[in-house]
Structure 1
Protein backbone atom coordinates (compact mmCIF):
# COMPACT_ATOMS: atom_id res chain seq x y z
CA UNK A 1 0.00 0.00 0.00
CA UNK A 2 1.02 3.67 -0.08
CA UNK A 3 2.64 3.61 -3.49
CA UNK A 4 4.07 7.09 -2.92
CA UNK A 5 6.00 6.21 0.27
CA UNK A 6 9.37 6.53 -1.48
CA UNK A 7 8.48 9.63 -3.48
CA UNK A 8 11.30 12.12 -3.99
CA UNK A 9 9.17 14.86 -2.40
CA UNK A 10 9.36 13.03 0.94
CA UNK A 11 13.12 12.53 1.03
CA UNK A 12 13.97 16.11 2.03
CA UNK A 13 11.55 16.27 4.98
CA UNK A 14 12.91 16.81 8.49
CA UNK A 15 10.51 14.16 9.74
CA UNK A 16 12.41 11.18 11.13
CA UNK A 17 15.72 13.08 11.21
CA UNK A 18 17.71 14.69 14.02
CA UNK A 19 17.10 18.44 14.05
CA UNK A 20 18.09 21.51 16.02
CA UNK A 21 15.47 23.75 17.59
CA UNK A 22 15.53 27.41 16.67
CA UNK A 23 14.03 29.87 19.16
CA UNK A 24 13.91 32.89 16.86
CA UNK A 25 11.55 33.37 13.95
CA UNK A 26 12.46 31.02 11.09
CA UNK A 27 9.67 30.60 8.49
CA UNK A 28 12.05 28.62 6.26
CA UNK A 29 11.56 25.66 8.61
CA UNK A 30 8.08 24.99 7.22
CA UNK A 31 7.83 22.14 4.73
CA UNK A 32 4.94 21.11 2.52
CA UNK A 33 3.94 17.69 1.18
CA UNK A 34 2.07 17.66 -2.15
CA UNK A 35 -1.48 16.41 -1.64
CA UNK A 36 -1.28 14.97 -5.15
CA UNK A 37 0.95 12.12 -3.94
CA UNK A 38 -1.76 10.08 -2.26
CA UNK A 39 -4.51 11.43 -4.49
CA UNK A 40 -2.88 9.77 -7.47
CA UNK A 41 -3.07 6.52 -5.51
CA UNK A 42 -6.79 7.20 -4.89
CA UNK A 43 -7.43 8.13 -8.55
CA UNK A 44 -8.42 11.64 -7.53
CA UNK A 45 -7.60 13.64 -10.63
CA UNK A 46 -9.02 17.04 -11.47
CA UNK A 47 -11.95 18.35 -9.41
CA UNK A 48 -12.16 16.76 -5.97
CA UNK A 49 -15.28 14.71 -5.14
CA UNK A 50 -15.50 16.26 -1.67
CA UNK A 51 -15.23 19.51 0.27
CA UNK A 52 -13.17 19.81 3.37
CA UNK A 53 -10.43 21.20 5.48
CA UNK A 54 -7.73 20.15 7.92
CA UNK A 55 -8.18 21.70 11.35
CA UNK A 56 -5.13 21.83 13.59
CA UNK A 57 -4.84 23.03 17.17
CA UNK A 58 -1.52 24.27 18.53
CA UNK A 59 -1.12 24.10 22.30
CA UNK A 60 2.50 25.26 22.56
CA UNK A 61 2.45 28.70 20.96
CA UNK A 62 4.45 31.45 22.63
CA UNK A 63 6.18 34.71 21.70
CA UNK A 64 7.53 37.86 23.32
CA UNK A 65 5.85 41.23 23.70
CA UNK A 66 7.94 44.26 22.58
CA UNK A 67 9.17 44.66 26.16
CA UNK A 68 10.25 41.03 26.38
CA UNK A 69 7.38 39.59 28.45
CA UNK A 70 6.30 36.14 27.15
CA UNK A 71 2.79 35.53 25.84
CA UNK A 72 1.05 32.20 25.26
CA UNK A 73 -2.02 31.23 23.27
CA UNK A 74 -3.87 28.30 21.74
CA UNK A 75 -4.00 28.47 17.95
CA UNK A 76 -6.58 27.11 15.54
CA UNK A 77 -5.35 26.55 11.99
CA UNK A 78 -7.73 25.71 9.14
CA UNK A 79 -6.24 24.54 5.83
CA UNK A 80 -8.43 24.11 2.76
CA UNK A 81 -8.30 20.61 1.30
CA UNK A 82 -7.89 22.37 -2.06
CA UNK A 83 -4.46 23.68 -1.09
CA UNK A 84 -1.57 22.31 -3.10
CA UNK A 85 0.33 21.05 -0.05
CA UNK A 86 -0.40 19.74 3.39
CA UNK A 87 1.99 21.01 6.07
CA UNK A 88 4.41 18.43 7.44
CA UNK A 89 3.79 18.26 11.19
CA UNK A 90 7.37 18.15 12.54
CA UNK A 91 8.36 21.16 10.45
CA UNK A 92 5.23 22.90 11.75
CA UNK A 93 6.29 22.22 15.35
CA UNK A 94 9.83 23.48 14.70
CA UNK A 95 8.43 26.61 13.05
CA UNK A 96 6.08 27.36 15.95
CA UNK A 97 8.95 26.94 18.43
CA UNK A 98 10.96 29.47 16.45
CA UNK A 99 8.52 32.12 17.67
CA UNK A 100 9.42 31.52 21.33
CA UNK A 101 12.09 34.25 21.56
CA UNK A 102 10.71 36.47 18.80
CA UNK A 103 9.08 39.83 19.53
CA UNK A 104 5.72 40.84 18.07
CA UNK A 105 3.71 44.00 18.54
CA UNK A 106 0.57 42.10 19.57
CA UNK A 107 -1.41 38.89 18.95
CA UNK A 108 -2.83 40.32 15.73
CA UNK A 109 0.71 40.58 14.37
CA UNK A 110 1.32 36.94 15.31
CA UNK A 111 -1.88 35.85 13.56
CA UNK A 112 -0.91 37.81 10.44
CA UNK A 113 2.59 36.29 10.36
CA UNK A 114 1.29 32.75 10.86
CA UNK A 115 -1.35 33.19 8.17
CA UNK A 116 1.11 34.55 5.62
CA UNK A 117 3.77 31.89 6.26
CA UNK A 118 1.36 28.96 6.26
CA UNK A 119 -0.47 30.19 3.17
CA UNK A 120 2.86 30.36 1.36
CA UNK A 121 3.82 26.76 2.12
CA UNK A 122 0.30 25.30 1.73
CA UNK A 123 -0.39 27.27 -1.46
CA UNK A 124 -4.06 27.56 -0.56
CA UNK A 125 -6.51 29.15 1.83
CA UNK A 126 -5.43 29.19 5.49
CA UNK A 127 -7.24 30.72 8.46
CA UNK A 128 -5.48 31.28 11.79
CA UNK A 129 -7.27 32.20 15.02
CA UNK A 130 -5.58 32.69 18.39
CA UNK A 131 -7.40 32.03 21.66
CA UNK A 132 -6.60 32.82 25.26
CA UNK A 133 -5.65 29.61 27.06
CA UNK A 134 -8.44 30.27 29.58
CA UNK A 135 -11.08 30.98 26.95
CA UNK A 136 -10.95 28.68 23.94
CA UNK A 137 -14.52 27.58 23.02
CA UNK A 138 -13.42 25.20 20.23
CA UNK A 139 -11.64 23.06 22.81
CA UNK A 140 -14.68 22.57 25.03
CA UNK A 141 -15.42 18.85 25.33
CA UNK A 142 -18.72 18.10 23.61
CA UNK A 143 -21.12 15.23 24.09
CA UNK A 144 -20.84 12.66 21.30
CA UNK A 145 -23.82 12.88 18.99
CA UNK A 146 -23.18 9.55 17.28
CA UNK A 147 -23.60 5.82 17.76
CA UNK A 148 -20.38 4.19 18.98
CA UNK A 149 -19.69 0.97 17.10
CA UNK A 150 -16.63 -0.16 19.08
CA UNK A 151 -18.46 -2.62 21.35
CA UNK A 152 -19.38 -4.97 18.50
CA UNK A 153 -17.92 -8.44 18.99
CA UNK A 154 -15.26 -9.14 16.36
CA UNK A 155 -12.65 -11.74 15.56
CA UNK A 156 -9.66 -10.18 13.78
CA UNK A 157 -7.32 -12.48 11.87
CA UNK A 158 -5.01 -9.86 10.35
CA UNK A 159 -4.13 -6.20 10.56
CA UNK A 160 -3.23 -5.33 6.99
CA UNK A 161 -5.29 -2.57 5.38
CA UNK A 162 -8.00 -4.04 3.16
CA UNK A 163 -10.50 -1.82 1.37
CA UNK A 164 -12.22 -4.91 -0.03
CA UNK A 165 -13.76 -5.47 3.42
CA UNK A 166 -16.35 -2.85 2.48
CA UNK A 167 -17.64 -4.96 -0.41
CA UNK A 168 -20.13 -6.57 1.97
CA UNK A 169 -21.00 -3.39 3.88
CA UNK A 170 -24.32 -2.71 2.15
CA UNK A 171 -26.26 -5.89 1.47
CA UNK A 172 -29.60 -4.14 0.97
CA UNK A 173 -29.26 -1.03 -1.17
CA UNK A 174 -33.00 -0.33 -0.93
CA UNK A 175 -32.80 0.36 2.82
CA UNK A 176 -31.96 4.09 2.90
CA UNK A 177 -31.04 5.48 6.30
CA UNK A 178 -29.34 8.45 7.92
CA UNK A 179 -26.77 7.66 10.61
CA UNK A 180 -24.05 9.26 12.68
CA UNK A 181 -21.40 6.74 13.74
CA UNK A 182 -18.15 6.96 15.66
CA UNK A 183 -15.24 4.64 16.33
CA UNK A 184 -12.39 5.41 18.70
CA UNK A 185 -10.39 2.47 17.34
CA UNK A 186 -8.78 4.28 14.41
CA UNK A 187 -5.03 3.81 14.49
CA UNK A 188 -2.56 4.21 11.67
CA UNK A 189 1.19 4.85 11.54
CA UNK A 190 3.21 7.80 10.31
CA UNK A 191 4.24 7.36 6.70
CA UNK A 192 7.88 8.19 7.48
CA UNK A 193 8.61 7.28 11.11
CA UNK A 194 6.11 4.45 11.70
CA UNK A 195 5.08 6.13 14.98
CA UNK A 196 1.45 5.37 15.90
CA UNK A 197 -1.28 7.91 15.21
CA UNK A 198 -4.40 7.51 17.37
CA UNK A 199 -7.77 8.94 16.46
CA UNK A 200 -11.54 8.89 16.65
CA UNK A 201 -13.39 8.82 13.34
CA UNK A 202 -16.88 10.24 12.94
CA UNK A 203 -18.88 9.09 9.93
CA UNK A 204 -22.21 10.68 9.01
CA UNK A 205 -24.07 9.48 5.96
CA UNK A 206 -27.37 9.11 4.13
CA UNK A 207 -27.72 6.09 1.90
CA UNK A 208 -27.94 2.30 1.99
CA UNK A 209 -27.58 1.07 5.57
CA UNK A 210 -23.93 0.29 6.33
CA UNK A 211 -23.25 -2.86 8.32
CA UNK A 212 -21.59 -1.63 11.50
CA UNK A 213 -19.55 -4.81 11.99
CA UNK A 214 -18.12 -4.58 8.48
CA UNK A 215 -17.37 -0.88 8.89
CA UNK A 216 -15.58 -1.48 12.19
CA UNK A 217 -13.50 -4.27 10.62
CA UNK A 218 -12.51 -1.85 7.84
CA UNK A 219 -11.49 0.87 10.33
CA UNK A 220 -9.42 -1.61 12.35
CA UNK A 221 -7.62 -2.67 9.16
CA UNK A 222 -5.80 0.71 9.24
CA UNK A 223 -4.01 -0.41 12.41
CA UNK A 224 -0.68 -1.18 10.71
CA UNK A 225 -1.23 1.11 7.70
CA UNK A 226 1.35 3.84 7.01
CA UNK A 227 -0.10 7.15 5.85
CA UNK A 228 -0.48 10.74 6.99
CA UNK A 229 -3.67 11.72 8.86
CA UNK A 230 -5.16 13.69 5.97
CA UNK A 231 -4.50 10.87 3.54
CA UNK A 232 -6.16 8.25 5.75
CA UNK A 233 -9.33 10.33 5.95
CA UNK A 234 -9.48 10.84 2.19
CA UNK A 235 -8.99 7.09 1.75
CA UNK A 236 -11.83 6.33 4.17
CA UNK A 237 -14.10 8.83 2.42
CA UNK A 238 -13.44 7.56 -1.10
CA UNK A 239 -13.69 3.89 -0.10
CA UNK A 240 -17.02 4.31 1.70
CA UNK A 241 -18.43 6.39 -1.13
CA UNK A 242 -17.37 3.80 -3.71
CA UNK A 243 -18.58 0.69 -1.94
CA UNK A 244 -21.62 2.10 -0.14
CA UNK A 245 -22.91 4.58 -2.74
CA UNK A 246 -23.88 7.18 -0.14
CA UNK A 247 -26.18 10.03 -1.12
CA UNK A 248 -24.26 12.21 1.33
CA UNK A 249 -21.18 11.48 3.42
CA UNK A 250 -18.97 13.20 5.96
CA UNK A 251 -15.80 11.74 7.50
CA UNK A 252 -14.19 13.67 10.36
CA UNK A 253 -11.18 12.27 12.25
CA UNK A 254 -10.07 13.75 15.56
CA UNK A 255 -6.49 12.66 16.16
CA UNK A 256 -4.77 12.86 19.54
CA UNK A 257 -2.09 15.49 19.84
CA UNK A 258 1.61 14.88 19.31
CA UNK A 259 4.30 17.48 19.87
CA UNK A 260 1.74 20.07 20.92
CA UNK A 261 -0.36 19.70 17.75
CA UNK A 262 -3.46 17.75 16.91
CA UNK A 263 -4.70 17.25 13.35
CA UNK A 264 -8.37 16.89 12.47
CA UNK A 265 -9.11 16.24 8.77
CA UNK A 266 -12.69 16.81 7.60
CA UNK A 267 -14.05 15.63 4.24
CA UNK A 268 -17.67 15.91 3.19
CA UNK A 269 -20.00 15.81 0.22
CA UNK A 270 -21.59 18.93 1.75
CA UNK A 271 -19.92 22.33 1.57
CA UNK A 272 -19.64 22.86 5.33
CA UNK A 273 -16.78 23.63 7.71
CA UNK A 274 -15.58 21.23 10.37
CA UNK A 275 -17.37 21.55 13.71
CA UNK A 276 -15.61 23.22 16.61
CA UNK A 277 -15.47 20.74 19.45
CA UNK A 278 -13.12 18.14 20.82
CA UNK A 279 -13.11 14.74 22.47
CA UNK A 280 -11.78 13.70 25.84
CA UNK A 281 -8.82 11.93 24.17
CA UNK A 282 -7.46 15.22 22.84
Structure 2
Protein backbone atom coordinates (compact mmCIF):
# COMPACT_ATOMS: atom_id res chain seq x y z
CA UNK A 1 0.00 0.00 0.00
CA UNK A 2 2.80 2.44 0.83
CA UNK A 3 4.27 1.97 -2.65
CA UNK A 4 0.96 3.00 -4.23
CA UNK A 5 0.87 6.10 -2.06
CA UNK A 6 4.31 7.29 -3.17
CA UNK A 7 4.61 6.01 -6.76
CA UNK A 8 5.43 8.79 -9.22
CA UNK A 9 5.39 7.00 -12.59
CA UNK A 10 2.47 4.73 -13.55
CA UNK A 11 2.93 2.82 -16.82
CA UNK A 12 -0.05 1.45 -18.73
CA UNK A 13 0.26 -1.86 -20.60
CA UNK A 14 -2.62 -3.51 -22.52
CA UNK A 15 -3.96 -6.70 -20.95
CA UNK A 16 -4.17 -8.06 -24.49
CA UNK A 17 -0.37 -7.86 -24.83
CA UNK A 18 0.90 -10.29 -22.16
CA UNK A 19 4.35 -10.38 -23.77
CA UNK A 20 4.78 -6.79 -22.54
CA UNK A 21 3.96 -7.44 -18.87
CA UNK A 22 7.51 -8.33 -17.82
CA UNK A 23 8.93 -5.43 -19.85
CA UNK A 24 6.56 -3.02 -18.11
CA UNK A 25 7.57 -4.33 -14.69
CA UNK A 26 11.23 -3.86 -15.60
CA UNK A 27 10.77 -0.48 -17.29
CA UNK A 28 11.64 1.63 -14.27
CA UNK A 29 8.04 2.63 -13.66
CA UNK A 30 7.11 2.74 -9.99
CA UNK A 31 3.68 1.20 -10.66
CA UNK A 32 2.32 -0.82 -13.59
CA UNK A 33 -1.30 -0.56 -14.75
CA UNK A 34 -2.48 -3.57 -16.77
CA UNK A 35 -5.39 -2.23 -18.77
CA UNK A 36 -8.59 -4.14 -19.50
CA UNK A 37 -10.45 -0.99 -20.55
CA UNK A 38 -9.44 1.47 -23.29
CA UNK A 39 -6.41 -0.50 -24.47
CA UNK A 40 -8.53 -3.56 -25.33
CA UNK A 41 -10.90 -3.65 -28.29
CA UNK A 42 -14.56 -4.11 -27.30
CA UNK A 43 -15.27 -6.00 -30.52
CA UNK A 44 -16.11 -9.69 -30.42
CA UNK A 45 -14.58 -11.57 -27.50
CA UNK A 46 -11.61 -9.20 -27.17
CA UNK A 47 -12.32 -8.37 -23.53
CA UNK A 48 -12.73 -12.04 -22.55
CA UNK A 49 -9.48 -12.95 -24.33
CA UNK A 50 -7.71 -10.10 -22.53
CA UNK A 51 -8.90 -11.41 -19.16
CA UNK A 52 -7.65 -14.87 -20.08
CA UNK A 53 -4.27 -13.42 -21.09
CA UNK A 54 -4.15 -11.51 -17.81
CA UNK A 55 -4.75 -14.68 -15.82
CA UNK A 56 -2.25 -16.77 -17.82
CA UNK A 57 0.58 -14.23 -17.75
CA UNK A 58 -0.02 -12.56 -14.39
CA UNK A 59 3.36 -11.19 -13.19
CA UNK A 60 2.71 -12.21 -9.60
CA UNK A 61 5.03 -10.78 -6.94
CA UNK A 62 6.71 -8.19 -9.12
CA UNK A 63 9.26 -5.70 -7.84
CA UNK A 64 6.73 -2.88 -8.27
CA UNK A 65 3.01 -2.75 -7.48
CA UNK A 66 0.86 -4.05 -10.33
CA UNK A 67 -2.72 -2.79 -10.55
CA UNK A 68 -5.49 -3.55 -13.03
CA UNK A 69 -7.72 -1.01 -14.75
CA UNK A 70 -11.09 -2.71 -15.06
CA UNK A 71 -13.95 -1.63 -17.27
CA UNK A 72 -16.33 0.92 -15.78
CA UNK A 73 -19.20 0.19 -13.43
CA UNK A 74 -21.76 0.88 -16.15
CA UNK A 75 -20.27 -1.62 -18.64
CA UNK A 76 -21.17 -5.30 -19.12
CA UNK A 77 -17.53 -6.36 -18.55
CA UNK A 78 -17.23 -4.81 -15.10
CA UNK A 79 -18.35 -7.79 -13.01
CA UNK A 80 -16.16 -10.30 -14.86
CA UNK A 81 -13.14 -7.97 -14.58
CA UNK A 82 -13.56 -7.66 -10.82
CA UNK A 83 -13.95 -11.44 -10.46
CA UNK A 84 -10.67 -11.92 -12.35
CA UNK A 85 -8.99 -9.44 -10.02
CA UNK A 86 -10.26 -11.28 -6.95
CA UNK A 87 -8.49 -14.41 -8.20
CA UNK A 88 -5.24 -12.57 -9.02
CA UNK A 89 -5.06 -10.16 -6.04
CA UNK A 90 -3.39 -7.14 -7.69
CA UNK A 91 -2.20 -4.31 -5.47
CA UNK A 92 -5.40 -2.40 -6.36
CA UNK A 93 -7.93 -1.92 -9.12
CA UNK A 94 -8.23 1.28 -11.12
CA UNK A 95 -11.90 2.21 -11.45
CA UNK A 96 -12.46 4.32 -14.58
CA UNK A 97 -15.14 7.02 -14.60
CA UNK A 98 -15.56 6.66 -10.84
CA UNK A 99 -18.66 8.66 -9.96
CA UNK A 100 -19.79 7.63 -6.48
CA UNK A 101 -18.64 6.22 -3.18
CA UNK A 102 -20.95 3.25 -3.78
CA UNK A 103 -19.12 2.34 -7.01
CA UNK A 104 -15.80 2.45 -5.17
CA UNK A 105 -17.13 0.38 -2.26
CA UNK A 106 -18.68 -2.22 -4.57
CA UNK A 107 -15.49 -2.53 -6.65
CA UNK A 108 -13.41 -3.07 -3.51
CA UNK A 109 -15.85 -5.66 -2.18
CA UNK A 110 -16.04 -7.60 -5.45
CA UNK A 111 -12.30 -7.53 -6.17
CA UNK A 112 -11.05 -7.94 -2.63
CA UNK A 113 -8.46 -5.17 -3.08
CA UNK A 114 -8.35 -1.37 -2.60
CA UNK A 115 -9.47 1.02 -5.33
CA UNK A 116 -7.81 3.84 -7.25
CA UNK A 117 -10.70 5.99 -8.53
CA UNK A 118 -9.99 7.49 -11.95
CA UNK A 119 -11.79 10.83 -12.10
CA UNK A 120 -12.69 11.59 -15.71
CA UNK A 121 -16.25 12.89 -15.72
CA UNK A 122 -18.20 15.85 -14.37
CA UNK A 123 -20.18 13.51 -12.11
CA UNK A 124 -16.98 12.24 -10.58
CA UNK A 125 -15.75 15.77 -9.95
CA UNK A 126 -18.84 16.93 -8.10
CA UNK A 127 -18.79 13.80 -5.89
CA UNK A 128 -15.15 13.95 -4.86
CA UNK A 129 -16.10 14.56 -1.24
CA UNK A 130 -17.89 11.23 -0.94
CA UNK A 131 -15.46 9.32 -3.17
CA UNK A 132 -12.43 10.33 -1.11
CA UNK A 133 -14.20 9.72 2.20
CA UNK A 134 -14.57 5.97 1.73
CA UNK A 135 -12.02 3.62 3.34
CA UNK A 136 -11.38 1.74 0.08
CA UNK A 137 -10.04 4.80 -1.78
CA UNK A 138 -6.23 4.66 -1.90
CA UNK A 139 -5.39 7.59 -4.18
CA UNK A 140 -7.07 9.63 -6.91
CA UNK A 141 -6.05 9.41 -10.57
CA UNK A 142 -6.89 12.15 -13.07
CA UNK A 143 -8.31 11.29 -16.51
CA UNK A 144 -7.87 14.57 -18.34
CA UNK A 145 -8.53 13.32 -21.88
CA UNK A 146 -11.95 11.84 -21.08
CA UNK A 147 -12.82 14.69 -18.75
CA UNK A 148 -12.15 17.24 -21.49
CA UNK A 149 -14.53 15.30 -23.74
CA UNK A 150 -17.19 15.14 -21.04
CA UNK A 151 -16.91 18.87 -20.30
CA UNK A 152 -16.73 19.83 -23.97
CA UNK A 153 -13.45 21.76 -23.66
CA UNK A 154 -10.44 21.73 -25.97
CA UNK A 155 -8.06 24.00 -24.05
CA UNK A 156 -6.14 22.01 -21.43
CA UNK A 157 -6.01 25.08 -19.20
CA UNK A 158 -9.77 24.69 -18.78
CA UNK A 159 -9.02 21.57 -16.71
CA UNK A 160 -6.89 23.39 -14.15
CA UNK A 161 -9.84 23.99 -11.83
CA UNK A 162 -10.56 20.26 -11.96
CA UNK A 163 -6.95 19.49 -11.09
CA UNK A 164 -7.22 21.80 -8.12
CA UNK A 165 -10.35 19.93 -7.00
CA UNK A 166 -8.49 16.60 -6.93
CA UNK A 167 -5.61 18.11 -4.96
CA UNK A 168 -7.96 19.84 -2.52
CA UNK A 169 -10.11 16.82 -1.76
CA UNK A 170 -7.13 14.48 -1.53
CA UNK A 171 -5.56 16.71 1.09
CA UNK A 172 -8.82 17.09 2.99
CA UNK A 173 -9.29 13.31 3.12
CA UNK A 174 -5.71 12.60 4.15
CA UNK A 175 -4.92 10.87 0.86
CA UNK A 176 -1.58 11.16 -0.93
CA UNK A 177 -1.22 13.70 -3.72
CA UNK A 178 -3.21 12.58 -6.79
CA UNK A 179 -1.71 11.26 -10.03
CA UNK A 180 -1.98 13.39 -13.17
CA UNK A 181 -3.33 12.05 -16.46
CA UNK A 182 -1.44 10.80 -19.49
CA UNK A 183 0.54 12.85 -21.97
CA UNK A 184 -0.42 11.98 -25.54
CA UNK A 185 3.04 13.08 -26.76
CA UNK A 186 4.51 9.58 -26.74
CA UNK A 187 8.18 10.39 -27.36
CA UNK A 188 8.27 14.18 -26.98
CA UNK A 189 10.23 14.29 -23.75
CA UNK A 190 10.14 18.09 -23.62
CA UNK A 191 6.33 18.06 -23.71
CA UNK A 192 6.16 15.33 -21.07
CA UNK A 193 8.58 17.28 -18.87
CA UNK A 194 6.49 20.45 -19.18
CA UNK A 195 3.26 18.63 -18.34
CA UNK A 196 4.81 16.79 -15.39
CA UNK A 197 6.36 19.98 -14.00
CA UNK A 198 3.01 21.74 -14.28
CA UNK A 199 1.29 18.85 -12.49
CA UNK A 200 3.84 19.00 -9.69
CA UNK A 201 3.22 22.73 -9.37
CA UNK A 202 -0.50 22.09 -9.05
CA UNK A 203 0.16 19.68 -6.17
CA UNK A 204 0.09 16.31 -7.94
CA UNK A 205 2.43 13.56 -6.84
CA UNK A 206 2.85 11.53 -10.03
CA UNK A 207 1.78 11.00 -13.62
CA UNK A 208 0.24 8.27 -15.74
CA UNK A 209 2.46 7.14 -18.63
CA UNK A 210 1.61 5.36 -21.87
CA UNK A 211 5.16 4.72 -23.10
CA UNK A 212 8.38 3.74 -21.28
CA UNK A 213 10.13 6.74 -22.84
CA UNK A 214 7.95 9.00 -20.68
CA UNK A 215 9.21 7.55 -17.39
CA UNK A 216 12.61 9.30 -17.06
CA UNK A 217 11.29 12.83 -17.75
CA UNK A 218 8.42 12.23 -15.30
CA UNK A 219 10.86 11.15 -12.59
CA UNK A 220 13.10 14.13 -13.29
CA UNK A 221 10.22 16.61 -13.20
CA UNK A 222 8.82 15.38 -9.89
CA UNK A 223 12.15 14.97 -8.10
CA UNK A 224 13.26 17.97 -6.01
CA UNK A 225 15.79 20.04 -7.94
CA UNK A 226 19.25 20.79 -6.60
CA UNK A 227 18.33 24.42 -5.92
CA UNK A 228 15.21 23.32 -4.02
CA UNK A 229 17.20 20.93 -1.84
CA UNK A 230 19.89 23.52 -1.10
CA UNK A 231 17.20 26.04 -0.14
CA UNK A 232 15.48 23.47 2.09
CA UNK A 233 18.68 22.58 3.90
CA UNK A 234 19.48 26.26 4.51
CA UNK A 235 16.00 26.76 5.94
CA UNK A 236 16.31 23.77 8.25
CA UNK A 237 19.72 24.97 9.41
CA UNK A 238 18.24 28.32 10.45
CA UNK A 239 14.57 28.01 11.36
CA UNK A 240 13.71 24.91 13.34
CA UNK A 241 11.79 26.75 16.07
CA UNK A 242 9.79 29.96 15.95
CA UNK A 243 10.48 32.57 13.28
CA UNK A 244 13.84 33.43 11.75
CA UNK A 245 15.33 35.02 8.65
CA UNK A 246 17.45 33.34 5.96
CA UNK A 247 18.68 35.09 2.81
CA UNK A 248 16.20 37.89 3.46
CA UNK A 249 13.26 35.47 3.67
CA UNK A 250 11.11 35.08 6.76
CA UNK A 251 11.28 31.49 7.97
CA UNK A 252 8.30 30.37 10.04
CA UNK A 253 6.61 27.04 10.69
CA UNK A 254 4.92 26.51 7.26
CA UNK A 255 8.17 27.32 5.46
CA UNK A 256 10.09 24.92 7.70
CA UNK A 257 7.54 22.17 7.07
CA UNK A 258 7.81 22.69 3.32
CA UNK A 259 11.60 22.43 3.61
CA UNK A 260 11.26 19.19 5.58
CA UNK A 261 9.02 17.73 2.89
CA UNK A 262 11.51 18.62 0.16
CA UNK A 263 14.39 17.00 2.04
CA UNK A 264 12.32 13.89 2.80
CA UNK A 265 11.33 13.57 -0.86
CA UNK A 266 14.92 14.04 -2.02
CA UNK A 267 16.03 11.31 0.37
CA UNK A 268 13.24 9.01 -0.80
CA UNK A 269 14.15 9.58 -4.45
CA UNK A 270 17.77 8.82 -3.66
CA UNK A 271 16.84 5.59 -1.88
CA UNK A 272 14.63 4.54 -4.80
CA UNK A 273 17.38 5.20 -7.32
CA UNK A 274 19.93 3.29 -5.26
CA UNK A 275 17.54 0.33 -4.96
CA UNK A 276 16.91 0.38 -8.71
CA UNK A 277 20.64 0.36 -9.46
CA UNK A 278 21.17 -2.50 -7.01
CA UNK A 279 18.44 -4.51 -8.74
CA UNK A 280 19.98 -4.22 -12.17
TM-score bracket, normalised by the shorter chain, equals: under 0.3
Q: Select the structure with the greater relative contact order (CA < 8 A; seq sep ≥ 6).
A: 1
More strand by share: 1
TM-score scaled by structure 2? 0.28
